[in-house]
Amino acid sequence: MRTGRNQSAIHFRFTKILTNKQKNNKIGIFFHSEKEKTNFEKPLSPYLKIYLVIFLLQFRKSSNFAARSVDSSMSKRFKIDLRGLEEGKSTLHFDLDDSFFEAVHAPVVHRGQLTCTVTIDRRNDVFDIDFHTEGSVTVACDRCLDDMDQPIASDDHLVAKFGEDYSENDDLITVPEKEGMLDTSWFIYQFIELAIPLRHVHAPGKCNPAMMKILEEHSAARSGAGDDENPIDSRWAALSQLKNKH
Protein backbone atom coordinates (compact mmCIF):
# COMPACT_ATOMS: atom_id res chain seq x y z
CA MET A 1 0.00 0.00 0.00
CA ARG A 2 1.46 3.35 -1.05
CA THR A 3 1.25 6.56 0.97
CA GLY A 4 2.16 10.17 0.36
CA ARG A 5 5.36 9.81 2.36
CA ASN A 6 8.76 9.42 0.80
CA GLN A 7 9.44 5.75 0.39
CA SER A 8 13.10 4.89 0.46
CA ALA A 9 15.00 1.67 0.77
CA ILE A 10 18.47 1.00 2.08
CA HIS A 11 20.41 -2.07 0.96
CA PHE A 12 23.88 -3.41 1.56
CA ARG A 13 25.65 -4.39 -1.61
CA PHE A 14 29.15 -5.19 -2.77
CA THR A 15 30.34 -2.95 -5.61
CA LYS A 16 33.29 -3.57 -7.84
CA ILE A 17 35.33 -0.85 -9.53
CA LEU A 18 37.41 -1.93 -12.51
CA THR A 19 39.86 0.31 -14.32
CA ASN A 20 42.78 -0.34 -16.62
CA LYS A 21 45.20 0.33 -13.80
CA GLN A 22 43.57 -1.21 -10.76
CA LYS A 23 40.96 -3.61 -9.52
CA ASN A 24 39.35 -2.75 -6.21
CA ASN A 25 36.39 -4.04 -4.18
CA LYS A 26 34.49 -1.94 -1.71
CA ILE A 27 31.46 -2.29 0.52
CA GLY A 28 28.87 0.47 0.61
CA ILE A 29 25.27 1.28 1.45
CA PHE A 30 23.03 1.64 -1.58
CA PHE A 31 20.17 4.11 -1.18
CA HIS A 32 17.08 4.11 -3.39
CA SER A 33 14.41 6.81 -3.24
CA GLU A 34 11.17 5.67 -4.85
CA LYS A 35 9.68 9.16 -4.99
CA GLU A 36 12.68 10.86 -6.55
CA LYS A 37 13.68 7.83 -8.64
CA THR A 38 17.27 8.36 -7.64
CA ASN A 39 20.04 6.07 -6.51
CA PHE A 40 23.24 6.89 -4.74
CA GLU A 41 25.80 5.02 -2.77
CA LYS A 42 27.57 5.93 0.44
CA PRO A 43 30.71 4.04 1.51
CA LEU A 44 30.65 2.42 4.92
CA SER A 45 32.93 3.53 7.70
CA PRO A 46 35.76 1.12 8.60
CA TYR A 47 33.94 -0.02 11.74
CA LEU A 48 30.66 -0.71 9.94
CA LYS A 49 32.59 -2.66 7.32
CA ILE A 50 34.12 -5.01 9.87
CA TYR A 51 30.76 -5.48 11.59
CA LEU A 52 29.20 -6.38 8.24
CA VAL A 53 31.94 -8.91 7.48
CA ILE A 54 31.54 -10.49 10.94
CA PHE A 55 27.76 -10.61 10.45
CA LEU A 56 28.14 -12.44 7.12
CA LEU A 57 30.49 -14.95 8.71
CA GLN A 58 28.13 -15.61 11.60
CA PHE A 59 25.16 -15.86 9.24
CA ARG A 60 26.86 -18.57 7.23
CA LYS A 61 27.80 -20.46 10.40
CA SER A 62 24.31 -20.22 11.90
CA SER A 63 22.57 -21.44 8.75
CA ASN A 64 22.60 -25.12 9.79
CA PHE A 65 18.99 -25.04 11.03
CA ALA A 66 17.46 -26.30 7.79
CA ALA A 67 14.60 -28.75 8.06
CA ARG A 68 15.29 -32.40 7.39
CA SER A 69 14.46 -32.93 3.74
CA VAL A 70 15.94 -35.21 1.09
CA ASP A 71 14.61 -35.68 -2.44
CA SER A 72 12.84 -39.02 -2.65
CA SER A 73 14.77 -40.09 -5.74
CA MET A 74 18.03 -39.64 -3.83
CA SER A 75 16.89 -41.17 -0.53
CA LYS A 76 15.96 -44.41 -2.32
CA ARG A 77 19.64 -44.97 -3.08
CA PHE A 78 20.49 -44.88 0.62
CA LYS A 79 17.69 -47.03 2.00
CA ILE A 80 18.82 -50.29 3.60
CA ASP A 81 16.45 -53.27 3.70
CA LEU A 82 17.20 -54.46 7.22
CA ARG A 83 14.83 -57.42 6.98
CA GLY A 84 16.70 -58.73 3.95
CA LEU A 85 20.10 -58.76 5.67
CA GLU A 86 21.58 -62.04 6.84
CA GLU A 87 23.04 -62.57 10.29
CA GLY A 88 26.56 -61.19 10.64
CA LYS A 89 28.25 -58.37 8.74
CA SER A 90 27.26 -56.78 5.46
CA THR A 91 29.02 -53.89 3.71
CA LEU A 92 27.69 -51.18 1.40
CA HIS A 93 29.57 -48.46 -0.49
CA PHE A 94 28.19 -45.07 -1.52
CA ASP A 95 29.75 -42.40 -3.74
CA LEU A 96 28.68 -38.88 -2.80
CA ASP A 97 28.95 -36.05 -5.32
CA ASP A 98 27.32 -32.66 -5.92
CA SER A 99 23.97 -34.26 -6.73
CA PHE A 100 23.81 -35.68 -3.21
CA PHE A 101 24.20 -32.26 -1.60
CA GLU A 102 21.70 -30.72 -4.00
CA ALA A 103 19.15 -33.34 -2.95
CA VAL A 104 19.77 -32.65 0.74
CA HIS A 105 18.11 -29.28 1.28
CA ALA A 106 20.56 -27.85 3.80
CA PRO A 107 22.71 -24.73 3.34
CA VAL A 108 25.98 -25.65 5.01
CA VAL A 109 27.46 -27.91 2.32
CA HIS A 110 26.55 -27.49 -1.35
CA ARG A 111 29.24 -29.50 -3.11
CA GLY A 112 31.64 -32.31 -2.38
CA GLN A 113 33.27 -35.54 -3.46
CA LEU A 114 33.27 -38.30 -0.84
CA THR A 115 32.91 -42.02 -0.31
CA CYS A 116 30.95 -43.62 2.51
CA THR A 117 31.40 -47.23 3.58
CA VAL A 118 28.55 -48.62 5.68
CA THR A 119 29.09 -51.82 7.66
CA ILE A 120 26.02 -53.47 9.23
CA ASP A 121 26.39 -56.19 11.85
CA ARG A 122 23.06 -57.96 12.38
CA ARG A 123 22.37 -59.84 15.60
CA ASN A 124 18.77 -61.07 15.52
CA ASP A 125 16.71 -57.88 15.29
CA VAL A 126 19.47 -55.49 16.39
CA PHE A 127 21.77 -53.85 13.84
CA ASP A 128 25.11 -52.20 14.67
CA ILE A 129 25.86 -49.80 11.83
CA ASP A 130 29.27 -48.18 11.27
CA PHE A 131 29.84 -45.32 8.81
CA HIS A 132 33.27 -44.38 7.47
CA THR A 133 33.14 -41.22 5.36
CA GLU A 134 36.12 -39.66 3.62
CA GLY A 135 36.72 -37.00 0.96
CA SER A 136 36.36 -33.23 0.64
CA VAL A 137 33.51 -30.72 0.73
CA THR A 138 33.20 -27.16 -0.53
CA VAL A 139 32.57 -24.65 2.26
CA ALA A 140 33.02 -20.91 2.79
CA CYS A 141 36.40 -19.75 4.07
CA ASP A 142 36.00 -18.14 7.50
CA ARG A 143 38.57 -15.50 6.58
CA CYS A 144 37.59 -14.27 3.10
CA LEU A 145 34.16 -15.97 2.54
CA ASP A 146 35.26 -17.51 -0.79
CA ASP A 147 34.61 -21.21 -1.41
CA MET A 148 37.34 -23.65 -0.44
CA ASP A 149 37.86 -27.42 -0.45
CA GLN A 150 37.86 -28.85 3.07
CA PRO A 151 39.15 -32.44 3.51
CA ILE A 152 37.20 -34.46 6.06
CA ALA A 153 37.15 -37.99 7.45
CA SER A 154 34.77 -39.38 10.05
CA ASP A 155 33.77 -42.62 11.72
CA ASP A 156 30.26 -42.77 13.15
CA HIS A 157 27.99 -45.38 14.69
CA LEU A 158 24.26 -46.04 14.91
CA VAL A 159 22.20 -48.85 16.38
CA ALA A 160 18.90 -49.83 14.77
CA LYS A 161 16.24 -52.23 15.96
CA PHE A 162 12.78 -53.30 14.91
CA GLY A 163 9.72 -51.91 16.67
CA GLU A 164 6.17 -50.70 16.14
CA ASP A 165 6.80 -47.09 15.07
CA TYR A 166 9.75 -45.15 13.73
CA SER A 167 11.68 -43.17 16.35
CA GLU A 168 15.13 -41.74 17.01
CA ASN A 169 16.64 -41.63 20.48
CA ASP A 170 20.23 -40.38 20.39
CA ASP A 171 22.07 -43.08 18.43
CA LEU A 172 19.26 -45.66 18.66
CA ILE A 173 16.91 -45.86 15.69
CA THR A 174 13.67 -47.83 15.87
CA VAL A 175 12.46 -49.04 12.47
CA PRO A 176 8.90 -50.34 11.93
CA GLU A 177 9.26 -54.08 11.45
CA LYS A 178 6.52 -54.14 8.80
CA GLU A 179 8.56 -51.82 6.59
CA GLY A 180 12.08 -52.83 7.58
CA MET A 181 13.67 -49.98 5.60
CA LEU A 182 16.21 -47.55 7.07
CA ASP A 183 16.96 -44.37 5.10
CA THR A 184 20.58 -43.43 5.86
CA SER A 185 20.87 -40.39 3.56
CA TRP A 186 20.17 -37.73 6.20
CA PHE A 187 22.38 -39.46 8.78
CA ILE A 188 25.26 -39.51 6.31
CA TYR A 189 24.78 -35.80 5.61
CA GLN A 190 24.76 -35.01 9.33
CA PHE A 191 27.96 -36.98 9.84
CA ILE A 192 29.60 -34.99 7.04
CA GLU A 193 28.45 -31.66 8.47
CA LEU A 194 29.66 -32.54 11.97
CA ALA A 195 33.06 -33.57 10.58
CA ILE A 196 33.73 -30.07 9.23
CA PRO A 197 36.18 -28.23 11.52
CA LEU A 198 34.79 -25.29 13.48
CA ARG A 199 37.33 -23.06 11.75
CA HIS A 200 38.11 -23.59 8.08
CA VAL A 201 40.36 -21.21 6.18
CA HIS A 202 42.36 -21.20 2.96
CA ALA A 203 46.03 -22.12 3.00
CA PRO A 204 48.33 -19.09 3.43
CA GLY A 205 48.23 -16.87 0.35
CA LYS A 206 45.09 -18.48 -1.12
CA CYS A 207 42.44 -16.11 0.28
CA ASN A 208 40.61 -13.54 -1.85
CA PRO A 209 43.07 -10.60 -2.13
CA ALA A 210 40.31 -7.97 -2.21
CA MET A 211 38.70 -9.23 0.98
CA MET A 212 42.07 -9.59 2.69
CA LYS A 213 42.81 -5.96 1.84
CA ILE A 214 39.53 -4.90 3.46
CA LEU A 215 40.29 -6.92 6.60
CA GLU A 216 43.78 -5.43 6.80
CA GLU A 217 42.32 -1.92 6.54
CA HIS A 218 39.91 -2.63 9.38
CA SER A 219 42.67 -4.13 11.49
CA ALA A 220 44.86 -1.07 10.93
CA ALA A 221 41.99 1.30 11.71
CA ARG A 222 41.16 -0.57 14.89
CA SER A 223 44.81 -0.61 15.92
CA GLY A 224 45.09 3.12 15.27
CA ALA A 225 42.02 3.81 17.38
CA GLY A 226 43.54 1.81 20.20
CA ASP A 227 46.74 3.81 20.00
CA ASP A 228 44.78 7.07 20.24
CA GLU A 229 42.92 5.88 23.31
CA ASN A 230 46.04 4.67 25.11
CA PRO A 231 48.96 6.91 24.12
CA ILE A 232 52.39 5.70 25.22
CA ASP A 233 54.37 8.00 27.48
CA SER A 234 57.44 9.20 25.56
CA ARG A 235 59.66 8.32 28.54
CA TRP A 236 58.52 4.71 28.46
CA ALA A 237 59.03 4.66 24.69
CA ALA A 238 62.63 5.81 25.16
CA LEU A 239 63.25 3.12 27.79
CA SER A 240 61.77 0.53 25.45
CA GLN A 241 64.13 1.57 22.66
CA LEU A 242 67.13 1.29 25.01
CA LYS A 243 65.98 -2.16 26.10
CA ASN A 244 65.64 -3.32 22.49
CA LYS A 245 69.17 -2.14 21.70
CA HIS A 246 70.56 -4.30 24.49
Say which DSSP state 52 is in: H
What is the rounded average pLDDT of the residues 138-146?
A: 88
- Inside any domain, residue 191: yes
pLDDT of residue 4 exceeding 50, the answer is no
Which residue range is the domain that position 84 belongs to?
78-195
Q: What is the DSSP string of 102-128?
A: HHB--SS--EEEEEEEEEEEEETTEEE
Q: Which region, left, alpha or beta, applies to residue 107 given φ > 0 means left and ψ of -120 to 50 means alpha? A: alpha
Q: Tell me what pLDDT residue 200 has.
A: 86
In a domain, 121, yes or no: yes
76-93 confidence digits (pLDDT tens): 999 999 999 999 999 999
How confident is residue 185, by pLDDT bands cut at 50, 70 and 90?
very high
Answer yes or no: is 184 within a domain.
Answer: yes
pLDDT at 182: 95
- Does residue 65 fall inside a structural domain? no
Q: What is the predicted pLDDT for the residue at 98?
A: 93
What's the number of domains the chain is made of?
1
86 SS3 class:
coil
| Domain assignment of residue 201, yes or no | no
